[in-house]
Amino acid sequence: MNSSFQAPIGTHDVLAPQSALWEGLVATFAQLAFQYGFTLALTPMFEEIGVFNRGIGENSDVATKEMYVFQDRGDRTYALRPEGTASVVRAFIQHQPTTPYKAWYVTPAFRYERPQAGRYRQHHQLGVEAIGTDDPAIDVEVIALAWRFYQALGLRRVRLLINSMGHDECRGRYVNVLKGHLEEWREQLCDEHQKTWIQNPLRVLDCKRESCINVVNDGPLLPDFLCSECANHFASVRKGLAVLGIESTLDPRLVRGFDYYTRTTFEFVAEALGNAQNAIGGGGRYDGLSEQLGGKPAGGIGFGSGIERLLLAREAEGITQNLINRTIDLFVVDTSGLDVATVVVDELRNQGYAVVRSFDARSMKSQMKLADRSGAALALLIGPQEAESDQITIRDLRGEDFERDQQLVAREDLIFTLRQRLKK
């Protein structure tokens, strides 16, 4: 153990029974995404580095210090994907599917940073992207999908924060005024932002230090700088959400970590997660991204959600309900040592049953223990006697009166009997 390998820093193996939660979560999302008209997009886990840092911004933390960058043997510079959107947009540009192109994905994402609760070097995100339409109705659809997904997971204490960044011009005007304000009060900013406010003034907005918060609080607010078109768009989105009964809270200081966001931006916060890592999902519109990546102009919007954080949030809310059934139906106990068991197991699986057996010719007692622990409803016993007479003993593992509930059936009647007993 001491000299053996272990998973790299900030990564985790997900094994049973935890992994069943993942299966359920992904299956739930896949079904929902399908219902909303999204199709699955599988894109590479690494891309030319420009795909990522052009969109998310050369100055962003993710691009400057958190990206996993490497050279391959052909001297190309690649990066492991730090987020989901850029790859899908790159694929959109490359293949030019008909618009609106609506895709969902589930993928690992990599960020080189010190791990802590709810933050890892490899985490997993699922999300959607809708590219090629500016209609605020699609914004509503994307946000609604996320909302319904959280509900399906059983989450009840989720808050939706929303804001609009406007398009380039609105944002530009705002940033100018904001810069002026920050310059005036720069001495009041926290140490960190006294140095960086010029490069990335928007970052100061979500600084959590009191000094910066005070400065920002008397500062200009983004929504006040929206042009009429952007303001209308934003109003439509909010109205659409309201019509669906989805409550959103305007957070004029909400600016997300990636530079590509325009107009609608939003974040879902799990209130049950008290710590700083309580954002379980977020996203927004990225109307300039396609062009930044060399494509034609195409507006788009998407959201991504962290699987690990969703599971943490569920745990924090005390939700234990399984999203998928992973209990097996039958355990075949074989002490005959003949091929009968192998054939029976195969037949049952072909019939659609989940069937497990033991190996290494263990004793009957030992196999019964395994059968019990397997969670199976019934054990099928095949010993020398059954093999000889072409019969099988069906034993109930869950009934209360387990001493007696045992039934000997002819092999040819097995499936028929199981159908009735398992009702499937």
Partner RNA sequence: GUGGGCGUAGCUCAGUUGGUUAGAGCGCCAGGUUGUGGUCCUGGAGGUCGCGGGUUCGACCCCCGUCGCUCACCCCA
Span 315-354, contacts to RNA by CB under 7 A: 335
Choose, by CB under 7 A, the member of 35, 59, 342, 385 that binds RNA.
385
Query: Which alpha helices (DSSP H) does 43-190 contain, by range?
Result: 49-56, 61, 85-95, 136-152, 168-184
Residue 257's closest CA among 135, 111, 145? 111
User: Is residue 262 a contact point for RNA (CB under 7 A)?
Assistant: no
Which amino acid type is present at position 121? R
User: Is residue 281 a contact point for RNA (CB under 7 A)?
Assistant: yes
User: Is residue 9 a contact point for RNA (CB under 7 A)?
Assistant: yes
Interface positions, 127-186, toward RNA (CB under 7 A): none
Look up residue 317 and give its two tokens: 């809310």
Please say which residue, 227 or 408, places its beta carbon nearer to RNA: 408
User: Is residue 71 a contact point for RNA (CB under 7 A)?
Assistant: no
User: Is residue 240 a contact point for RNA (CB under 7 A)?
Assistant: no
**Residue 106 in contact with residue 124, Cβ under 8 Å?**
yes
User: Is residue 117 a contact point for RNA (CB under 7 A)?
Assistant: yes
Residue 100's closest CA among 302, 240, 372? 302
Scanning 141-149, 164-172, 236-244, 272-280 for contacts with RNA by CB under 7 A, the matching segment is: 272-280
User: Is residue 62 a contact point for RNA (CB under 7 A)?
Assistant: yes
Reduce the DSSP state of residue 166 to 3 states and report it.
Answer: coil
C-alpha triplet 347, 348, 350: angle, nearest 5°: 65
User: Is residue 314 a contact point for RNA (CB under 7 A)?
Assistant: no
Look up residue 290 and give its two tokens: 């396609």
Within 10 A of 198 (CB to CB), how many other CB atoms are there?
A: 12
Please say which residue, 82 or 240, places its beta carbon nearer to RNA: 82
User: Is residue 253 a contact point for RNA (CB under 7 A)?
Assistant: no
User: Is residue 125 a contact point for RNA (CB under 7 A)?
Assistant: yes
User: Is residue 402 a contact point for RNA (CB under 7 A)?
Assistant: yes
Choose, by CB under 7 A, the member of 393, 409, 411, 417 that binds RNA.
393
What strand order describes the sheet that includes 69-71? 46-48, 77-80, 69-71
User: Is residue 209 a contact point for RNA (CB under 7 A)?
Assistant: yes
